[in-house]
Chains A and B, each alone.
Chain A
Amino acid sequence: MLDLIWLLPTFPLLGFLILVLSSGQLSKKVVALVGAGSIGLSFLVAALIAVEFLNSGAEFYSMTAWTWMSVGQFTPGFTFYLDGLSLVMMLIITGVGFLIHLYSTGFMIDDPSYSRFFSYMNLFVASMLMLVLADNLVLLYLGWEGVGLCSYLLIGFWYDNPANGAAARKAFVVTRVGDTSMALGLFLLFAQLGTLNIQDLMGAAEANWTSGSGVAVAAALLLLGGAVGKSAQLPLQTWLPDAMAGPTPISALIHAATMVTAGVYLIARTHILFELAPTVQLLVAWIGLATLLMAGFTAMTQHDIKRILAYSTISQIGYMFLGLGVGAWSASVFHLMTHAFFKALLFLGAGTVILSLHHEHDIFKMGGKRKQLPVAFYSFLIGSLALAAFPFTSGFFSKDEILLGALALEGPGTWLWLGGVVGAFFTGIYSFRLVFVVFFGESQAHHDDKEVAGWNMAGPLFILMVLSLLGGFIHIPVESVFNHGEAHEEHHVSGLIHGIMIAVPLLGILVAYLFYGGRQLSADKLMANPLAAALHKFWFSHWGMDALYNTLFVRPFVYLAKLNRLDIIDQCYGLVVTLSRAGHGLLAKLQNGMLGWYAASLIFGLVLLMTLGVLL
């Protein structure tokens, strides 16, 4: 069974090929069948493989399909590598992926480019599986770029609107910056260690490099660059909110559940390298903390339902980074999984809201939709509870583990923990702000249609609700992957700490209720304060990051490109031409047709020759 692992990416790839080659000729039913079915098959295979792998008790399994290229020592292959970590990832991708595909069959039913949508989606799943199953970094890079491409294609799916295209390009280019850094990391690793096979690489790194050595730090930093790009962490996080331009299932699948967590996966995969570079690892934690706080602030100020969720995603991945940074590897992966569940749920719920309200995104134009959109309401309620880490929901367990891991760290651990707790407070506020504003209060009159949610949309939502509630009890089999790095001794944590960690999100929910549920406090009054208003504006613009990047990079580049449109080097050659023409003009003037002048030139030449002859 394990040797069928190659089928995992193959099914979606086949789906993609069928959909592309049919070029829109298939009926929507068939498209749905192919699009969602291929993922379903993959999930089935994944599940079977998972069962067999776990039963076998082996630490890993690998199989080579073929050698990709062989150039000297450089011999990456199309080799699939399965261990606990990739197993978890593979299940999340196929499982959540299947649910979202299923949901999409309903959500996208009215779209003329139905088939194109599923072809991209299938390609995405194939790439993502490639990414997590790759046994070497080059193959991983293939998947890594593949998902980036699909992300681009899907963000710009509704290409009519140039804004969508801009968002898509922004996403691709910003992540490409990270990817390039990662590619350089690969070059460095290969130049130093002579292989890019992940396991060999980690072994060689451990054997050859001392902790904190310059090469290790450089390599880890370069890989981190890739990770922050893909996972939308500081300083490359700006693309994710704009990426919400794509259809909502995309946001659920790519920009919440799977692709954006690839950075987390990468760091977890190469955690040995990061352990060899403790400063970089700590940097990961600080990046995570900074990102989660910044995004938290911003999420509280947004009006667009999807942007709120997007910032929340950034923030939650910040938690994962925090976890990675403090060495709580499995906690991070655990949070990755639970986040996939509840964030997919939230996005799909949001999708239902948006679809039902004719593509209304502004939460302040909704309100009181509890009755009108029951499925969405429950999705949001449960999703938000999990997101806010309400006790015993899935998010609670995973976030708890991360914060405890932070606390366990010597030195800056306490501060990291504190920051994480503050972040949790914000999470409570913004997640329930959304719930209260959209589903409680007065109903806005102009949207009073029925909820659009067929079985294919509601079904996935229910499953995800269950997973969001109970996902915290799943045990992920990653010990063998991280066993040698993780602190094993149980930290004794006081009840007070536990209390704080339970109470803070609740406090956040309470604040949200006071402002938006019961209206005991008024946000408008707060805004009357100029300082608050300024802060709001600042946070609303996500700390001015977009503007900053625009000024620093985008505008100068565009300006220079336009300025030098004619290519200054080409113009230098133009100078040669001008000189030649001038020379011609000058010399042609001498040809004035006068015999006397010609005779003079003859004598002049003679005198010149004589003079030169004397001088030389």
Chain B
Amino acid sequence: MSPIPFEHGLIVAGILFCLGIVGVLTRRNIVFVLMSLEVMLNACGLAFIVGAARWGNADGQVMFLMILTLAAAEVAVGLGLIIQIYRRFHTVDINVLSQMKG
């Protein structure tokens, strides 16, 4: 088995990260935005695992665990907020949230 180059792992993470960004920027449905955020966070986790694989230490995996925790908490709070938005505005369009400006 030929070893996988480190940079290839990073490239995959990078691509996923950028796709997440595109998702956050383009979607108006807040659920999609949240999902794209998960993609970004996941890409970060991947990058850590890739790093861990390069150095052969477990720190990266610990970090991945923390990201996992973070992602879970964030989704919980985020989804809570989505429910409130939907209750109040009966839509999931983030553009309704633009009453403050200037």
Hey, which bits of chain A sit against chain B, CB under 8 A? 588, 591-596, 599-600, 603
Q: Do A593 and B99 have beta carbons less than 8 Å apart? A: yes
Which of B2-10, B21-29, B61-69, B73-81 is found at the contact surface with chain A?
A: B21-29
Complex Cα gap A600–B100 (Å): 17
B56: interface (CB < 8 Å)? no
Sample of 8 A–B contacts (CB below 8 Å): A593-B97, A593-B98, A593-B101, A593-B102, A594-B98, A595-B95, A596-B25, A596-B28
Size bracket of the B interface: 10 to 19
B83 contacts the other chain (Cβ, under 8 Å)? no
Q: 10 smallest A-B Cβ distances: which pairs?
A: A593-B101, A593-B98, A595-B94, A594-B98, A592-B101, A599-B24, A593-B100, A600-B25, A588-B102, A591-B101
**B25 near A592: Cβ-Cβ < 8 Å:** no
**CA of A600 to CA of B23, assembled, Å:** 11
- Supply 16 further A-B pairs (C-beta < 8 A) apart from A591-B101, A593-B99: A588-B102, A592-B101, A593-B98, A593-B100, A593-B101, A593-B102, A594-B95, A595-B33, A595-B95, A595-B97, A595-B98, A596-B94, A596-B95, A599-B25, A600-B25, A603-B21
Question: Inside 8 A of B98's CB, which chain A residues have their CB?
Answer: 592-595
In whole angstroms, what is the CA distance A451 to B12 when docked? Answer: 122
Question: In chain B, what residue has the closest Cβ to A589?
Answer: B102
Contacts of B33 in A (CB 8 A): 595
Task: Give the complex CA separation of A595 and B81 in angstroms.
Answer: 15
Q: Which residues of B contact A (CB under 8 A)?
A: 21, 24-26, 28, 33, 94-95, 97-102
Bound CA span A592–B101, Å? 5
A591 lies within 8 A of B102 (CB): yes
Q: Which residues of A contact B21 (CB under 8 A)?
A: 603
- Complex interface: chain B residues within 8 A of A588 (CB): 102
Query: Chain A residues near B94 (CB, 8 Å)?
Result: 595-596
The smallest C-beta distance from B31 to any residue of chain A, in angstroms, reads 14
B99: A residues at CB distance < 8 A: 593
Closest A-chain residue to B28, C-beta based?
A596
Contacts of A591 in B (CB 8 A): 101-102
Enumerate chain A residues within 8 angstroms of B102, measured Cβ to Cβ: 588, 591, 593
Report chain B residues within 8 Å CB of A596: 25-26, 28, 94-95
B22 — nearest CB in chain A belongs to which residue?
A: A603
Complex-state Cα separation, A568 to B21, whole angstroms: 52
CA of A603 to CA of B33 in the docked complex: distance in angstroms? 14
Q: Looking across the interface, which residue of chain B has its beta carbon closest to that of A600?
A: B25
Contact A603 B25 (CB under 8 A): yes
Interchain CA distance A595-B94 in the complex, whole Å = 7
Q: Which residues of A contact B28 (CB under 8 A)?
A: 596
A603 to B26, CA, bound (A): 12
Bound Cα distance from A111 to B32, whole angstroms: 99
Residue of A nearest to B21 (CB): A603
CA distance A505 to B25 in the complex (A): 108
User: Using Cβ atoms and an 8 Å threshold, which residues of chain A touch B101?
Assistant: 591-593
Contact partners of A592 in chain B: CB under 8 A? 98, 101
Among A592, A594, A596, chain B packs the most CB atoms within 10 A around the CB of A596
- Complex: how many Å from CA A595 to CA B100? 11
Residue numbers in B under 8 Å from A595 (CB-CB): 33, 94-95, 97-98
Q: Which residues of B contact A600 (CB under 8 A)?
A: 25
Which of B28, B99, B101, B102 has the largest number of chain A CB atoms within 10 A? B101
Distance (whole angstroms) from the CB of B98 to the closest CB of chain A: 4
Q: How far is the CA of A32 from the CA of B42 in the complex (A)?
A: 109
The residue in B25, B26, B33 that gathers the most chain A C-beta atoms within 10 A of its C-beta is B25
A599 to B21, CA, bound (A): 9
- Chain A residue at minimum C-beta to C-beta distance from B95: A594
Bound-complex Cα distance A592 to B25 (A): 15
CB distance from A606 to the nearest CB of B (A): 9
The smallest beta-carbon distance between B33 and chain A, in angstroms, is 8
CA distance A603 to B20 in the complex (A): 11
Could you tell me the distance between the alpha carbons of A111 and B56 in the complex, rounded to whole angstroms?
Answer: 115
In the assembled complex, the CB of A517 is this many whole angstroms from the nearest CB of chain B, namely 93
CA distance A595 to B26 in the complex (A): 11
Name the distance in Å between A404's Cβ and chain B's nearest Cβ: 93
Q: Cα distance A593–B24 when bound, in Å?
A: 16
In whole angstroms, how far apart are the Cα atoms of A593 and B100 in the complex? 6
Q: Which residue of A lies closest to B97 (CB)?
A: A595
Chain A residue with Cβ nearest B30: A595
Bound CA–CA A593/B94 (angstroms): 11
Chain A nearest CB, measured from B10 CB (Å): 15
A606's nearest neighbour on chain B, judged by CB, is B21
- Rounded to whole angstroms, the CA-CA distance of A596 and B94 in the bound complex is 8
Residues of A within 8 Å of B26, CB to CB, are 596
Complex alpha-carbon distance, A584 and B101, angstroms: 14
A600 to B33, CA, bound (A): 13
Shortest Cβ gap from A581 to chain B (Å): 14
Q: Shortest beta-carbon distance, A188 to chain B, in Å?
A: 65
Q: When chains A and B are docked, how far (Å) is the Cα of A603 from the Cα of B17? A: 12
A593 to B25, CA, bound (A): 14
Name A594's closest neighbour in chain B (CB-CB): B98
Whose C-beta in chain A lies nearest to the C-beta of B99? Answer: A593
Q: Which residue of B lies closest to A595 (CB)?
A: B94
CA distance A588 to B102 in the complex (A): 5
Q: Which residue of A lies closest to B18 (CB)?
A: A603
How far is A141 from B60 in the complex, measured between Cα atoms in Å? 93
Q: How far is the CB of B30 from chain A (nearest CB, A)?
A: 8
Closest CB-CB distance, A463 to chain B, in whole Å?
A: 89
Distance of A610 from chain B, by nearest CB (Å) = 12
How far does the alpha carbon of A595 sit from the alpha carbon of B82 in the complex, in Å? 14
